[in-house]
């Protein structure tokens, strides 16, 4: 766990990552709060809070007698949210840092183009 | 449900408990935090009915608690608890005979896990292991309220870790009110659901551990940048050095400008700030 975000948000991210990389697919059971608290050394109450927030957002749902499962459309919902964060906050931060370091916009564009070029040859 | 209504306990010259009102409505693992002499032991002894309050009332499930009417459903375990000087295995057998619903399997499993030699007599055990055995016996019986006064005193870090696991397992198997006092704050933060902070006999705060996870943080950066952010927030303490200000906040999280960093405030630092603020007020 890092030191700047609330732990429950970090647990939410761990679960979201698991859905994005398809560790848990739609209607499949996710990791339990007990398992989360053991694995990541977090308080079970905190793990529970992360799961209830994801349930409120329609990412997870409860299957009575079984446990928490991935909801229909969860992957798309998470991707859309992350896309939004990337296009705004992440890019803002990159632009700001570039300005601080005196990297021109053109240099930045050139750098991105070269990178994308090498990646597409992979 | 445990209810304290303006409970005061005065010893000759000291105010051990100063008009404390508190309701514990649900089962849960509660952590009682306070400096030495803050009134933690008094708090527990009052709930257990071991001592009489000077004024105010304590009720458990609507029944008034006093030394004349010590509640059967409460176990209070001191850190220097004393048992008959019998062998560990005999102490467990006796507890089992005395209490119908005693969970013998749990007690056996835990004595093995904590490497408590069943053939050793009580007085041959170290301080930590004495407390551990008494704690195991009380968790295995059917008390609905368990008060553990510094149960991890004298335990090494590995045993403390196993202790916390035992607490969680026992709670999962039998949800009830478990109140634990400790100075090992960042360790109990992994286990407890709610916190009760007392200082100089007064109740300073009762809060969920998840509230502290979410709302307790530190803003740090150049003083002129941090200062305007802090106004309007509940600031519980500050540290200043060389033009840099660190403000400890217990409030909603806010978006911060570049140059200001946000760090989670751990339970220990949260506690230190809350108590320090009270002493300066």
Of A15-19, A97-101, B110-114, B126-130, least confident by mean pLDDT is B126-130
- What pLDDT shows up at residue B278? 83
Q: Do B264 and A5 touch (CB under 8 A)?
A: yes
User: At the top level of CATH, which class does the domain A7-72 belong to?
Assistant: mainly alpha
Q: Provide the terminal-to-terminal Cα distance of chain A, rounded to the nearest Å.
A: 32
* Cα B249 to Cα B226: distance, rounded to the nearest angstrom: 12
For an interface test with B, give the residue of A45, A93, A95 to mutate (most B CBs within 10 A).
A45
Q: What residues have CB less than 8 Å from A7, skipping those under 6 apart?
A: A1, A42, A43, A46, B213, B264
pTM above 0.90, yes or no: no
- What is the number of other CB atoms lying within 10 angstroms of the CB of residue B268? 15
Question: How many angstroms separate the CA of residue B3 from the nearest CA in chain A?
Answer: 23
Torsional sign, CA B56, B58, B64, B65? negative
Cross-chain CB nearest to B264 (options A4, A44, A49): A4
Q: Do A4 and B261 touch (CB under 8 A)?
A: yes
Q: Do B191 and A6 touch (CB under 8 A)?
A: no
pLDDT digits (tens, 9 = 90+) for B107-151: 999 999 999 999 999 999 988 888 889 889 889 987 899 999 999
A 1-60 near B (Cβ less than 8 A) = 3-8, 34, 37, 41-46, 49
Contact B192, B162 (CB under 8 A): no
Contact B250, B234 (CB under 8 A): yes
CB proximity B157 to A under 8 Å: no
Which chain A residues have a beta carbon less than 8 Å from that of B210?
8, 43, 45-46, 49
What's the longest Cα–Cα distance across chain B?
69
- What pLDDT shows up at residue B98? 84
Contact B35, B29 (CB under 8 A): no
Q: Could you tell me where in chain B the CATH 3.30.70 domains are found?
A: 212-280
Q: Could you tell me where in chain B the CATH 3.40.50.300 domains are found?
A: 2-200
Q: What is the dihedral of CA B250, B254, B256, B262, to 10 degrees?
A: 40
Contact B200, B39 (CB under 8 A): yes
Question: How many angstroms separate the CA of residue B253 from the nearest CA in chain A?
Answer: 10
Q: What is the dihedral of CA B102, B108, B113, B116, to 10 degrees?
A: 100
- Which superfamily does B2-200 belong to? P-loop containing nucleotide triphosphate hydrolases (3.40.50.300)
What's the longest Cα–Cα distance across chain A?
58
Contact B207, B192 (CB under 8 A): no
Strands B2-10 and B15-24: antiparallel
ipTM over 0.90: no
- What pLDDT shows up at residue A68? 95
* Cα A88 to Cα A77: distance, rounded to the nearest angstrom: 17
The candidate with the shortest Cα–Cα distance to B19, out of B60, B66, B71, B54, is B54
- What is the number of other CB atoms lying within 10 angstroms of the CB of residue A48? 17
Range B212-280 has CATH code 3.30.70: yes
Torsional sign, CA B206, B212, B213, B214? positive
Domain boundaries, chain A: 7-72, 75-120
Q: What residues have CB less than 8 Å from A11, skipping those under 6 apart?
A: A36, A40, A42, A46, A47, A50
Place of tokens 């514990």: B24
Task: Over range B269-277, report the average pLDDT.
Answer: 92
Cross-chain CB nearest to A44 (options B168, B213, B258): B168
pLDDT digits (tens, 9 = 90+) for A41-87: 899 999 999 999 999 999 999 999 889 999 999 999 999 999 999 99
Which chain B residues have a beta carbon less than 8 Å from that of A43?
189-193, 209-210, 213
Question: How many angstroms separate the CA of residue B193 from the nearest CA in chain A?
Answer: 6
């Amino acid at each position: 766990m890092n030191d700047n975000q609330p732990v429950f948000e970090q647990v939410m991210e761990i679960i979201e990552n698991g859905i994005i990389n398809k560790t848990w697919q739609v209607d499949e059971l996710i990791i339990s709060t007990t398992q989360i608290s053991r694995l990541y050394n977090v308080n079970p109450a905190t793990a529970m809070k992360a799961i209830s927030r994801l349930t409120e957002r329609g990412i997870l749902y409860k299957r009575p007698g079984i446990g928490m499962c991935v909801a229909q459309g969860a992957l798309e919902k998470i991707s859309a949210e992350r896309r939004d964060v990337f296009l705004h906050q992440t890019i803002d931060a990159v632009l700001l840092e570039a300005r601080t370091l005196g990297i021109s916009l053109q240099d930045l564009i050139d750098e991105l183009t070269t990178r994308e070029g090498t990646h597409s040859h992979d | 449900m445990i209810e304290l209504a303006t409970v005061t306990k005065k010893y000759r010259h000291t105010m051990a408990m100063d008009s404390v009102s508190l309701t514990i409505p649900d089962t849960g693992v509660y952590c009682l935090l306070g400096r030495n002499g803050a009134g933690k032991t008094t708090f527990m002894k009052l709930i257990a009915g071991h001592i009489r309050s000077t004024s105010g009332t304590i009720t458990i499930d609507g029944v008034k608690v006093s030394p004349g009417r010590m509640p059967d459903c409460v176990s209070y375990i001191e850190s220097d608890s004393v048992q008959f000087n019998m062998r560990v295995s005999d102490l467990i057998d006796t507890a089992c005979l005395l209490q119908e619903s005693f969970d013998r399997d749990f007690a056996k499993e835990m004595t093995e896990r904590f490497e408590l030699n069943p053939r050793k007599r009580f007085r041959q055990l170290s301080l930590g292991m004495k407390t551990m055995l008494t704690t195991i016996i009380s968790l295995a019986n059917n008390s609905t309220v368990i008060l553990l006064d510094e149960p991890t005193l004298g335990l090494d870090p590995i045993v403390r870790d196993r202790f916390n696991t035992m607490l969680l397992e026992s709670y999962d198997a039998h949800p009830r009110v478990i109140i634990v006092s400790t100075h090992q704050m960042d360790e109990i933060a992994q286990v407890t659901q709610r916190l009760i902070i007392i200082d100089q006999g007064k109740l300073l705060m009762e809060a969920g551990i998840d509230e502290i996870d979410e709302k307790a943080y530190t803003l740090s950066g150049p003083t002129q940048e941090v200062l305007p952010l802090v106004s309007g927030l509940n600031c519980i303490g500050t540290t200043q050095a060389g033009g840099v200000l660190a403000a400890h906040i217990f409030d909603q999280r806010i978006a911060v400008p570049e140059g200001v960093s946000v760090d989670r405030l751990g339970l220990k630092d949260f506690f230190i700030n809350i108590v320090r603020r009270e002493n300066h007020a």
